[in-house]
Amino acid sequence: MNAERYARVRELFLAVDDLPADQQHAFLVSQCGDDQTLIDEVMSLLDEHDHQSARLEGNSAKQPAIPSALATSSPPGHPAQETDGGASTAGAPFLPPSQRDSTSDTSTLKSKPTPDEAERQPQRQTYRSGVRKSRSGSKPAPSKSAQVTQQSSQRTHASPRYRDEAAPARRRPSAGIWQTRATSHRRFNAGWLWLATILPTALIGWWTYTKVDSNLRQSAANELAGVADAVRVSVDQFLDDQSRLTESWARHRELRDAIISLVQSSEQDESVEALRKAPGAKQLRTALVTQSQQPDIKYVVWDRTGKILASWSADGADIGGNVAPDGAANLARAMRGETVLFGPEILTADDSGVQPETRLPVMAEIMPIRDDNGRVIATISIRGFGMYDALDQIFREASGAGGLDVYAVNANGMMVTNSPRALDWLTLDASDDDSVSCRLRVSDPGTSATSATELASQFRRTQPLTYSVAAASSGQSGSKLEPYRNYAGVDVVGAWRWVNQRGLGIVVERTADSAFATAQTVWMGFLALGMLLTVTALTAAGRIARRTALAQAAVHPLSRYELIAELGSGGMGVVYRAKHGQLGRDTALKVLRGDRDNLEDRLRFDREAKLAASLSNPHTVTIYDYGRGDEGEAYCVMEFLKGITLYDVVARSGFQSIGRALFILRQVCDSLGEAHKLGLVHRDIKPQNIMLSLDASVGDWAVVFDFGLAKPLQPDADSYQTAETIWAGTPMYMAPERYREPNNIDPRSDIYSVGCIAYFLLSGRPPFIECDPESLFALVLTEQPISIGVHRDQDVPEPIIALVKKCMAKSVDDRFATIDDLALELDRLIAAHPWSVEEARSWWRIHGDEVR
């Protein structure tokens, strides 16, 4: 709020405060017009203002406590930082009366204070919150614009002003409230009765649904995998039989003699006419028809140069031509003695001008022809004996069993067999001969109805392949029970297998609706039952609630923990060492501080516990429990970390050996690697937030804690998020971009902080030390830290210096791309700078025996 805006608010407040309460809103509307924000601000001040109470409290208030953000672990002379989710107050916007100092207190809006009052007013800590009383002494209902106020140290620039009535102040948590206590009797109302009837039904229904859903998923997975494996076996067996059959034809003496004769004729006379009239051509046709019993069998013979010596074509138009460029690879394999499977593929016209006799897909076997000495002298391609139709029939029969969609694809993602489902779902051209084989690229058409029902090969060429076909065509085998779109835009589940030696992928899919129809039926049944029980419960509760009362005893959830000692207090919480009464396990118990018990800080506290609980890496602190007591106090039970922080490690023994620093950093990368993979950035990595202890088998063991400032890369719309416009974290370990764009969440900011820790461990000093905040910011943004070797008074290997520099690069693009890349580099360097368990034990014996 600028000065002009403030003056306007002050003017309106003075004018409207003398009016009767029922005339105030109308007066503001007449003065402010359509500026609803201005009306709400003035009404908020009126609702919260009690002139007499403000004067009395201002005269009796004590000196305010040091802001919590300044009372944390910041070194002397460093600027205040946000700790445990708190926020600094630098540049705070215009605040309600309960948050302004003496120069903006609402009591000064009415009259100028006396010198005595002016001296005492700066000492006020808070302003008494409450609804303004009318002159008649009655307490009117708060206006719609009444808003909860917050301490400025608890708000960011963009912190919302909540429109709920201010929550009553709660006492600070103490051991006394963690004991068993009885609650007052209250009437059993409709809500309790509804819970008593619905909850068991809901639990049973949920259990039944989950069981049915789990069984259906297992059954669907088994069915899809079973069909895929069965089809794969059938295809393998069929193609093996076809290979053996055609190889037996190629080995027949009469056919071999005919081809040897053609080769010799070609060597003697290379003219096309001579080849057409060669006696071996007619002998070849007769032998092949006799062997295959197929009068329309198709064949082509090539010599070692790729020249066509004979073919099934009656006019011999292709004789003397050469193999097509895209067929040269298959021909070369056959010349090496392999039997090559060609297709399924639609033939196209080649340079010779010969037109294919069919527009349907074909398959062929290409085999070597050997002379009497076993040398490959030619190759022959044989097709036209029903090979493709028989293969297509295998997939048609599999599709007909149980409403499945079973088809084959090649490495390019083209469907190479006909799917009955595709024929039903897709719109084909009249010239397609009821076939989608080798015409349909199995791509995901998205949600467009038009693209989902048309073959549209040109359109599909630009779209990504479906999930199953993308996996199969890349040589993978697997399954997916989470629905994904198929080539028609229909949600399906499926399994796939890749037959590498055949160059074919087998895909088996079922629509998601049919796969999980039973589970949906069970869900709808229990939903209907729940609605029926709700009506019954509400009807019965109207009678029971008037005459039934139950005594309830409440036990505080933290009564099972015995407090041992206070470990410390941060910006938001107090941490105690506690012992579980039944398990005897030491824990760290964090409780929200009484002076931070407001809506925003409770939401921040919730977020820290939930984010930390989502992590399971052994180098990340473990969350055991979380919740709230009967009076709403928030608590979090964590693993009790025995050891000392990295800050204390350096404080006790100065800069560390290179091997030890690398060993510790590698463990920190493990913790951050898991967090980053889950889309979570820590944002406050520093030596004080990493605990080091001695493990008997590993040696140094590092654990990362304090996720109070952590933020997700992709915020969940259902979870509380802050909209910070000021920086949060420890200044000397913050990346430059965090100063420039506080709201920009980038995992590479954590990598910068890891580099600062590396510098700290290797040099024994933070990278930047400056008392003046602006000077510190300038150093971080523009300058490079002093060389590590200067602090150590010894040379440091260049790879180590390069590692630290790359981590602490000013530009995020110049750092390691991911924490995993940094971990790989650390692994490489650790091999050259080892740190043994015995070395760790020796250090702990000297410097940390009491905390091992």
**For the segment 562-593, what is each residue's pLDDT rounded down to a tens digit?**
888 888 776 677 888 898 888 888 998 888 87
Predicted local confidence at residue 115, as pLDDT: 38
In tens, the pLDDT along 370-393 reads: 988 889 999 999 998 999 999 999
Predicted local confidence at residue 379, as pLDDT: 95
Q: Are residues 695 and 555 in the same domain?
A: no
Residue 650 confidence (pLDDT) above 90: yes
CA dist list (Å): 584 to 154, 157, 248, 579, 638 = 36, 45, 79, 6, 14
Residue 796 confidence (pLDDT) above 60: yes
Asked whether residue 537 is assigned to any structural domain, the reply reads no
Separation CA 753–CA 732 (nearest Å): 9
Q: What is the mean pLDDT of residues 485-501?
A: 91
Q: Are residues 356 and 501 in the same domain?
A: no
Q: Are residues 492 and 566 in the same domain?
A: no
CA dist list (Å): 130 to 19, 46, 107, 825 = 19, 10, 15, 59
Residues spanned by the domain of 507: 402-515
Q: What is the mean pLDDT of residues 481-498?
A: 91
Asked whether residue 426 is assigned to any structural domain, the reply reads yes
User: Other C-beta atoms within 10 Å of 831: how many?
Assistant: 9
Predicted local confidence at residue 194, as pLDDT: 61
| Closest-CA residue to 63 (of 101, 18, 16, 20) | 101
In tens, the pLDDT along 424-445 reads: 888 765 455 578 888 888 998 8
Separation CA 694–CA 848 (nearest Å): 9
Q: Are residues 436 and 370 in the same domain?
A: no
Quote helix, strand, coil % in the chain, to nearest 5.
45, 15, 40
Angle at 56 between CA 50 and CA 60, to 5 degrees: 140
CATH number for position 257: 3.30.450.20
Separation CA 760–CA 491 (nearest Å): 54
Q: Are residues 631 and 674 in the same domain?
A: no
pLDDT band for position 560 (50/70/90)? Answer: confident
Q: Are residues 368 and 408 in the same domain?
A: no
Contact between residue 381 and residue 356 where contact means Cβ atoms under 8 Å apart: no
pLDDT band for position 775 (50/70/90)? Answer: confident
Of 490, 515, 540, which marks where a domain is finished? 515
Separation CA 299–CA 306 (nearest Å): 15
Task: Give the whole-number percent of the chain exceeding pLDDT 70.
Answer: 72
Asked whether residue 359 is assigned to any structural domain, the reply reads yes
Residue 103 confidence (pLDDT) above 50: no
Predicted local confidence at residue 87, as pLDDT: 32
Predicted local confidence at residue 22, as pLDDT: 79
Q: Are residues 671 and 807 in the same domain?
A: yes
Global confidence as pTM? 0.42
**Rg of the chain (C-alpha set):** 40
Contacts of 486 (CB under 8 A, 6+ apart): 405, 442, 444, 466, 468, 492, 494, 509
User: For tokens 């506290």, what's the residue?
Assistant: 605
Asked whether residue 199 is assigned to any structural domain, the reply reads no
Separation CA 6–CA 815 (nearest Å): 46
pLDDT band for position 712 (50/70/90)? Answer: low
Q: Are residues 71 and 132 in the same domain?
A: yes
Q: What is the mean pLDDT of residues 182-199?
A: 54
Buried b (16+ CB within 10 A) or exposed e, 732-755: bbbbbbbbeebeebbbbbbbbbbb
The reply, when asked if residue 590 is annotated as ligand binding, is: yes
Asked whether residue 239 is assigned to any structural domain, the reply reads no
Asked whether residue 530 is assigned to any structural domain, the reply reads no
CATH number for position 580: 3.30.200.20
Asked whether residue 198 is assigned to any structural domain, the reply reads no
In tens, the pLDDT along 307-360 reads: 999 988 888 888 888 888 888 898 999 999 999 999 898 888 776 556 788 888
Residue 170 confidence (pLDDT) above 80: no
Domains: count for the chain: 5
In tens, the pLDDT along 654-702 reads: 999 999 999 999 999 999 999 999 888 888 899 998 999 999 999 999 9
Residue 95 confidence (pLDDT) above 50: no
| Closest-CA residue to 571 (of 118, 10, 74, 42) | 74
pLDDT band for position 544 (50/70/90)? Answer: low
pLDDT band for position 782 (50/70/90)? Answer: confident
Asked whether residue 478 is assigned to any structural domain, the reply reads yes
Q: Are residues 299 and 442 in the same domain?
A: no
Q: Are residues 371 and 448 in the same domain?
A: no
Predicted local confidence at residue 129, as pLDDT: 32
User: For tokens 């003699």, what's the residue?
Assistant: 257
Q: Are residues 625 and 596 in the same domain?
A: yes
CATH number for position 496: 3.30.450
In tens, the pLDDT along 114-125 reads: 334 333 333 333
CATH number for position 837: 1.10.510.10
pLDDT band for position 187 (50/70/90)? Answer: very low
| Closest-CA residue to 592 (of 631, 639, 623) | 631
Q: Are residues 557 and 668 in the same domain?
A: no
* Range name among 147-156, 346-355, 455-464, 498-507 with the lowest pLDDT average: 147-156
Of 625, 640, 655, which marks where a domain is finished? 640
Of 640, 674, 690, which marks where a domain is finished? 640
Structure tokens that stand for 737 in this block? 């971009």
Q: What is the mean pLDDT of the chain?
A: 76
Separation CA 728–CA 84 (nearest Å): 10
**DSSP codes, 612-628:** HHT---TTBPPEEEEEE
